[in-house]
Amino acid sequence: MIALLSPTHAEEVPPPAETATEDGALVRATLDADPTAFEEIVRRHSRRVYNFLHQFTRHHHDAEDLTQQTFLKAYQNLHRFDRSRPLINWLFTIARRSALNHFRAAKKWEEMPEDAASESPSPARRTESSDEAENLWNRAREVLSPREYEVLWLRFAEELSTEETARIAGLTVTHVKVLVHRARQQLMKGAMPS
């Protein structure tokens, strides 16, 4: 019983060591004024950061602007980066803060649906809508709180460990576990006996 209750870390998948080492070398090269090193960092991580911000904003332009802001802040504060940690986690932390500041400034915490202005959806949009219905993340967005959604995204879409998720979201590990459990329960409601 006690052995069973001891926490397991089998699920915690650390980031690939190679990637972390290469990122560290790129950061060092950028600080040594290598002009191409930061371009390589952007090339490696911009899509993930954009995707993460798109989950927050649900708006292409906002996500793109915030991605640019994120990398600009990262570039300006690169000397503060702790090279023992994965770079992408640091970028997610900056991106999250940028997004929260953006929403605070714009006072539009409520998510804005894309193409909300168009009255009649185009055929392409209709196809997209049918795809969205299949997308589990859309259902998650409907039934989960923003915080549960964010934690679930970091945990499963970004494949971060519970500890990393907690650090980025500014929560405790216990809180993250509770949120993940609640989110699972919500998403499995009706599909499973309690």
Partner 1 sequence: MKAESSPSRFYCRVVRQWFSPAGASRHAESCADCRRYFQAVAHLESALRRDAVRFAPPAPAGLEQGIMRTIRAAAVPARRRPRPHPAWIASGSFVGIAAVALAVFLVQVPRTVKTDGVAGNQPSSRSAATGDSLSDQLFNAVVPPAGDLVANNPLQNELDSVYTGARSALDFLALNFMPASGLTLSRAASSTGKG
**Nearer to partner 1 by C-beta: 3 or 107?**
3
Longest distance between any two alpha carbons in the chain, whole Å: 60
Closest distance between partner 1 and the C-beta of residue 138, in Å? Answer: 8
**Nearer to partner 1 by C-beta: 119 or 134?**
134
Closest distance between partner 1 and the C-beta of residue 161, in Å? Answer: 11
Q: With 0-12 CB in 10 A as exposed, 13-18 as middle and 19+ as buried, what is 155?
A: buried
Looking at the chain, how many residues does it have?
A: 194
**Structural tokens at position 177:** 């576990």
Matching residue, tokens 């070398």: 25
**Nearer to partner 1 by C-beta: 20 or 27?**
27
**Nearer to partner 1 by C-beta: 140 or 166?**
140
Under the rule (CB under 8 A), what is the footprint of partner 1? 1, 3-5, 7-8, 10-11, 30-31, 33, 38-39, 42-43, 46-47, 50-51, 54, 60, 63-64, 67-69, 71-72, 75-76, 78-79, 131-132, 134-137, 140, 152-153, 156-157, 159, 177-178, 181, 184, 187-188, 191-193
**Nearer to partner 1 by C-beta: 93 or 162?**
162
Closest distance between partner 1 and the C-beta of residue 170, in Å? Answer: 21
